[in-house]
Chains A and B, each alone.
Chain A
Amino acid sequence: MSEPTTVKKPGSLWARLHLRERIKDRDTAIYGVLLVVVLVWPMSTYYATGSSFLTSQAAHAGTWVLLAIGLNVVVGFAGLLDLGYAAFFAIGAYCYALFASFQLQSSPLHHAYHLPFWLMLFVGMFVAAAAGAILGFPTLRLRGDYLAIVTLGFGEIVPQLFLNLDQWTGGINAIGSIDQPSLPGWITGPWAGATSIAILPNFNFSYDPTAYYVLVVIMIIIAVVLVTNLHRSRLGRAWMAIREDEVAAAAMGINTVTTKLLAFSIGASFSGFAGAYYGASFGLVSPDSFLFVVSITVLVMVVLGGMGNITGVIVGAIAIYFVLNNVLVSLPTNAESFANAVGLGFITKTNGDWPGLAEEARRLQFLLYGLILVGMMLLRPQGLFPSRVREQELKHDAVVEEETVAEQVPAR
């Protein structure tokens, strides 16, 4: 331990914040960095690129962060492998889309509902949670692989239902022109491309990327606070206990069925929450947005970020989103310009069987994605930021830093 070179006076704000000690805690540091990035993102990207495109992308990435936080409750905390997580996402999205568009006009109801977004956000959440409970109730007696297969089936059934109940959901035609959220007032400024700070009365989101960005950031903050609270609670410990040893957990008085059901439901509710947001921000809800690949992508985010650790899965979600929507998408153009820059311009052109570098890169996109995943798991199987015992939380006066007295471990 070395003293800081710039010694602050005791009692100064700096000392009172205990910033130095806090930053030693990895999770706090990650939250700090994320918060700073989140705050400067809209403005800096607007000035750098002259458009709000990157803000809108970040808002979209936020949906995935929400999903990853929710799935982490199920997979990371409680250790239940859920391969049908997109189903709850679909339920949340359709819940909002049906009751906030003209869709039900052409349904047997012949009446369109336009319920407010702020209400439907929570309705979507509760409907998804209920769906989680309904699915969980008969299936949570199953363990491990068997549960995974059942959730996989559920994940296939739900989009199929929305596809085939076309009287109600429009089926393959999807539900479009979904209502936009509105607020009595909004503040705009240079961060959103406006010339000056101004108050906008009766604000309608109408696909405003900055507004959606702010909304999703608030939703993520709420989710992080709630999930962190749960993680460090009676229920959170019960989940971990079940994940570690279900028999011992039951012998300690934990009702394993209801505890697992709660994990399933709470996980699903975040997915429903994200679904309602997705429906509004995208303005279009179609059955093929909720396919198996969505469930798997969220699972990859959770595993790659660090199962069980909230900061880990947030970073994992952002990283995978970035790889999928940026690295892979711009791969052909980047490969081409790279080849030109290093004097290999000839390989960018079509020649016989060779389709040209850009086209070839496009074809190999997902091979590369797969390689990134395999590489990540080989190099860091525990994920980017795995969970670990929170020494800070466990600090106790009776606990002294010390070395374990080496004790003979007898052969068992």
Chain B
Amino acid sequence: MSDQQPATDNILELTDLSKRFGGLLAVDSVGLNIKRGEVFALIGPNGAGKTTLFNCVTGLYQPTSGKVMFDGKDITGSKPHQVARLGIARTFQNIRLFDYMSALDNVRVGHHVRMKAKMWDSLFKLPRERKEEAVITEKSMDLLRFVGIARQANKYARNLPYGQQRRLEIARALATQPKLLLLDEPAAGFTPQEKVELMQLVKKILARGITVFLIEHDMKVVMGISERIVVLDHGEKIAEGPPDEVRKDRRVIEAYLGKSA
């Protein structure tokens, strides 16, 4: 590998990123820098453009203008699979698992991008393909253990309880061996106990050297794990900083509670 030396301290840099849907400016020239190895949270009221911003980063949407730099490379306008190959993985706000595949297979699909087997290797089950499959199965089981659902490996993803589906989605994303993990409302619909477990999981992910960028509504979770927060309202960045500062910011309070508050 030639890029052993990180090109920059920032793993993700967004510059003047905008996304327009017809007359609606969903993301309005947002700029933000995420440092290597931090937990960065994106918050904001419903419809603030948080998920749209995620989609622009991961290539599901083409930004209308602006630039996305990942790990020193310009990835603006890259296709989703190219973004994943470079090292950005994500989960979805409304869980998008492969319903009729087992939990284990879901995670094995996550490994796809790091696997080498070509069509011919698979057609004839060459020894190197078998070996790779065995390694991947082992790694996938490790990841299922990591998120705590190894016992469900054989079940269809759709048959898992809701909380475990969220965990499985994280395991699948981790299987792509990302440098940056985007979590879209990972604690949505969680019980307080599950939220605590999720925060522990995020810390474990961080310990693996993966930077975490998350969207979250639950303030306890956000305040508990993130080092820096950006607040989005109507597509615009209205505040940025450590949790304690952001919490006191007048514009943030207005955005959440209305001006009269």
Listed in ascending order, the chain A residues whose CB lies under 8 Å from chain B are 226, 229-230, 232-238, 240-241, 244-245, 247-256, 262, 266, 389, 391, 394, 396, 398-400, 402, 404, 406-412
B79 and A250 contacting across the interface, CB-CB below 8 Å? yes
A399 and B112 contacting across the interface, CB-CB below 8 Å? no
B122 and A399 contacting across the interface, CB-CB below 8 Å? no
A245 and B98 contacting across the interface, CB-CB below 8 Å? yes
B164 and A407 contacting across the interface, CB-CB below 8 Å? yes
The complex places the Cα of A400 from the Cα of B151 at a distance, in Å, of 6
Contact with A along B81-122 (1 / 0, CB 8 A): 100110001101010111111101100111011010101011
Report B-chain residues with C-beta under 8 Å of the C-beta of A226: 123-124
**Is B62's CB within 8 Å of the partner chain A?**
no
- 6 pairs, CB–CB < 8 Å, chain A vs chain B: A229-B123, A234-B133, A252-B109, A254-B113, A396-B153, A398-B150
Given the known A-B contacts A240-B98, A410-B162, are A233 and B113 also in contact in the complex, defined by CB atoms under 8 Å? no
**Is B176's CB within 8 Å of the partner chain A?**
yes
Report A-chain residues with C-beta under 8 Å of the C-beta of B109: 237-238, 240-241, 249, 252, 254
The complex places the Cα of A199 from the Cα of B225 at a distance, in Å, of 79
Report B-chain residues with C-beta under 8 Å of the C-beta of A255: 79, 81
**Is B191's CB within 8 Å of the partner chain A?**
yes
A241 and B101 contacting across the interface, CB-CB below 8 Å? yes
User: Other than the known A250-B84, A262-B119, what 14 A-B pairs have Cβ atoms closer than 8 Å?
Assistant: A226-B124, A237-B105, A249-B109, A250-B59, A250-B81, A251-B80, A252-B84, A252-B175, A253-B112, A391-B154, A398-B150, A399-B150, A404-B161, A410-B162
The complex places the Cα of A248 from the Cα of B99 at a distance, in Å, of 11
Report B-chain residues with C-beta under 8 Å of the C-beta of A409: 161-162
A392 CB, nearest partner CB in chain B, Å? 10
Report B-chain residues with C-beta under 8 Å of the C-beta of A251: 58, 60, 80, 84, 89-90, 92, 96
Report A-chain residues with C-beta under 8 Å of the C-beta of B96: 245, 247-248, 251
**Nearest chain-A residue to B182 (Cβ)?**
A251
The complex places the Cα of A247 from the Cα of B99 at a distance, in Å, of 13
Report B-chain residues with C-beta under 8 Å of the C-beta of A402: 151
Report B-chain residues with C-beta under 8 Å of the C-beta of A411: 189
B144 CB, nearest partner CB in chain A, Å? 8
Given the known A-B contacts A396-B137, A398-B150, A412-B189, are A244 and B99 also in contact in the complex, defined by CB atoms under 8 Å? yes
**Is B145's CB within 8 Å of the partner chain A?**
yes
A233 and B161 contacting across the interface, CB-CB below 8 Å? no
The complex places the Cα of A245 from the Cα of B158 at a distance, in Å, of 13
The complex places the Cα of A235 from the Cα of B124 at a distance, in Å, of 13
A245 and B97 contacting across the interface, CB-CB below 8 Å? yes
Report B-chain residues with C-beta under 8 Å of the C-beta of A232: 133
A248 and B81 contacting across the interface, CB-CB below 8 Å? no
Report B-chain residues with C-beta under 8 Å of the C-beta of A244: 97-101
**Is B141's CB within 8 Å of the partner chain A?**
yes
B133 and A233 contacting across the interface, CB-CB below 8 Å? yes
- Chain B residues bordering chain A, tally (CB within 8 A): 60
The complex places the Cα of A391 from the Cα of B101 at a distance, in Å, of 12
Report A-chain residues with C-beta under 8 Å of the C-beta of B189: 410-412
Report B-chain residues with C-beta under 8 Å of the C-beta of A412: 94, 162, 188-189
Report A-chain residues with C-beta under 8 Å of the C-beta of B121: 233
Report B-chain residues with C-beta under 8 Å of the C-beta of A266: 119
Report B-chain residues with C-beta under 8 Å of the C-beta of A237: 101, 105, 108-109, 112
A253 and B81 contacting across the interface, CB-CB below 8 Å? yes
Given the known A-B contacts A234-B115, A237-B105, A399-B150, are A253 and B163 also in contact in the complex, defined by CB atoms under 8 Å? no
Report B-chain residues with C-beta under 8 Å of the C-beta of A234: 112, 115, 117, 122, 132-133
Residue in A241, A247, A262, A410 whose CB lies within 8 Å of B191: A410
**8 A-B pairs closest in CB distance:** A253-B113, A253-B84, A233-B122, A407-B161, A244-B98, A250-B80, A248-B96, A410-B189
Listed residue (B84, B112, B119, B163) with the most chain A CB atoms within 10 angstroms of its CB: B112
**Nearest chain-B residue to A231 (Cβ)?**
B122
**Nearest chain-A residue to B98 (Cβ)?**
A244
Report A-chain residues with C-beta under 8 Å of the C-beta of B163: 407
Report A-chain residues with C-beta under 8 Å of the C-beta of B115: 234
B151 and A399 contacting across the interface, CB-CB below 8 Å? yes
B119 CB, nearest partner CB in chain A, Å? 6
A408 and B123 contacting across the interface, CB-CB below 8 Å? no
The complex places the Cα of A235 from the Cα of B109 at a distance, in Å, of 9
The complex places the Cα of A248 from the Cα of B96 at a distance, in Å, of 6
B154 and A394 contacting across the interface, CB-CB below 8 Å? yes
The complex places the Cα of A379 from the Cα of B191 at a distance, in Å, of 41
B143 CB, nearest partner CB in chain A, Å? 12
Residue in A236, A245, A247 whose CB lies within 8 Å of B122: A236
Report B-chain residues with C-beta under 8 Å of the C-beta of A230: 119, 122-123
A253 and B85 contacting across the interface, CB-CB below 8 Å? yes
B140 CB, nearest partner CB in chain A, Å? 9
A393 CB, nearest partner CB in chain B, Å? 9
**Nearest chain-B residue to A253 (Cβ)?**
B113
Residue in A248, A262, A398 whose CB lies within 8 Å of B92: A248
A407 and B113 contacting across the interface, CB-CB below 8 Å? no
Report B-chain residues with C-beta under 8 Å of the C-beta of A229: 122-125
A394 and B102 contacting across the interface, CB-CB below 8 Å? yes
Report A-chain residues with C-beta under 8 Å of the C-beta of B105: 237, 240, 389
B138 CB, nearest partner CB in chain A, Å? 9
**Is B64's CB within 8 Å of the partner chain A?**
no
Residue in A235, A248, A389, A398 whose CB lies within 8 Å of B97: A248
Report B-chain residues with C-beta under 8 Å of the C-beta of A241: 98, 101, 109, 112
